[in-house]
Amino acid sequence: MDPTDHRGPHGSQRDRRLTVGHRTARHTRLNQADTGTRALEEKAEEQYRALAELRRTMDALAMSTHERAEGTDRRIAALGREFESTVNRLTGNQEIIAGVKAFLRLLRTPDAGDGALAP
């Protein structure tokens, strides 16, 4: 024992235990941090997969919506042509015929640049 050492007869053992205890605590904290990091990485990867699936679903939905809109536009245009043909065959009451023809022209006017109903 060193005469200048004021830690007492068991001081160095206590210091070694504290040092070992600090190392163990630090090791435990590092393990917990690693575990937490892995869990966060797994969650992030799961979120990326979910986002990719949502994007695929959105793309499919957009495609379906576009196809349905085009089909609807074609059916409306066909109905308009059929209606106009029927009106053109009418011979009586010219005011009603003129009003219906004006209505048909409105149907055929593109809305805000959307030319879907134009002949």
pLDDT tens sequence across 61-114: 999 999 999 999 999 888 888 888 877 777 667 878 788 888 888 777 766 445
**What is the token pair recorded at 4?**
């200048």
The reported pTM is 0.46
pLDDT for the residue numbered 104: 81
